[in-house]
Amino acid sequence: MSESSLQDVMSCMGQPVAGNPTQYMMEKCFAAAGLDCRYLTFEVRPEGLGDAVRGMKAMGFRGGNFTIPHKVEVIQYLDGLTNAAELMGAVNCVFRDADGKYIGENTDGKGFIGSLQQTTEVDGKNVVILGAGGAARAIAVELGLAGASEITIVNRTADRGQELTDLLNDRVKTSAIFLPWTGVFEVNQNTDVVINATSIGLGNETARVPIVAESLSPRMVVADVIFNPPKTQFLREASDRGCQILDGLGMLVNQAVICFEIWTAVAPDAAVMREALEEYLEL
Ligand code: NDP
């Protein structure tokens, strides 16, 4: 960290970004860790993104988060990417390296894996991922890199699902298959982990993910990326079937923990991070 009296600055850029909990979580953890850092949230229009990143570099920010709609577009303004971010083609975390270069990383999938590993190992597991958007892509690549045995991508839009499946097979070197999502999906009984990585359930406690609830069995770990509300209909059904469940709050907390550590080289207290998130969301 900086040895001068100047504070290290981190940022979050997105649009719309009001209501994003990250500043609240980060500042609570800076205080808990005794770090003299600041985290600021900026509403940045797509046409202003290049100038915003140039400003971030010119002012020497330590790093920052990029959220909707900037996760892909920000790449063109950066000096490099980590392997995972390059594979995903999306960045949610930027850091200044020892040479002063601004490097793009993606901690969404790593955050999910951190949450999953508190319940089960990834190595050798058969995983079903519902969805093929940004969150699904980040999770699928990290699961592949972590040694998942087979990944089944289930998506409504075939092109998107097939593209992610091809990426997993060709570049991540994981065995992956694509199943088009038509009607109600029945989960194969040799599945170990089922993940809802769609936006179904966001802000809607009763929205149903179209799967056959009876095909979920107690041997399966069932996870949802949705963090608001944290107890989705999907997770309630899985819990009723005796499955172990993981909500999206764990993923959100863990991806922020990883960003914090990348920027400060200090491991934050994950409990403080989670408490701050729950306080912010009034849970
Ligand atoms: P995208 O828009 O990139 O992808 C959305 C996915 O949901 C697509 O696969 C889309 O299918 C699918 N989908 C949406 N509606 C339906 C439907 N009615 N039926 C079937 N499939 C549907 O979004 P993201 O991947 O960026 O985000 C997805 C969710 O993940 C969001 O709710 C976001 O809040 C959450 N998230 C949570 C994080 C966490 O830390 N907990 C981190 C990042 C995201 P199709 O391709 O056919 O359109």
pLDDT at 279: 96
Which residue, judged by its Cα, is nearest atom 28 of ligand 1? 199
**3-state DSSP call for residue 254?**
helix
Q: How many CB atoms lie within 10 A of CB 102?
A: 19
pTM for this prediction: 0.94
Which DSSP state fits 171?
A: I
Q: Which residues line ligand 1 (CB under 6 A)?
A: 108, 111, 131-136, 155-157, 160, 181, 198-200, 202, 225-227, 248, 251-252, 255
Q: Return phi, psi of residue 166, to 5°.
A: -65, -40
In a mutational test of the pocket of ligand 1, which residue from 12, 20, 199 has the highest number of ligand atoms less than 8 Å from its CB?
Answer: 199
pLDDT at 3: 56
Which residue, judged by its Cα, is nearest atom 29 of ligand 1? 199
pLDDT at 5: 81
Where in the sequence numbering do the catalytic residues fall? 71
pLDDT at 96: 98
Q: Return phi, psi of residue 4, to 5°.
A: -85, 180
Per-residue pLDDT of the chain (283 residues; tens, 9 = 90+): 555 689 999 999 999 999 999 999 999 999 999 999 999 999 999 999 999 999 999 999 999 999 999 999 999 999 999 999 999 999 999 999 999 999 999 999 999 999 999 999 999 999 999 999 999 999 999 999 999 999 999 999 999 999 999 999 999 999 999 999 999 999 999 999 999 999 999 999 999 999 999 999 999 999 999 998 999 999 999 999 999 999 999 999 999 999 999 999 999 999 999 999 999 999 8
- What's the CA-to-centroid distance between 203 and ligand 1, angstroms? 13
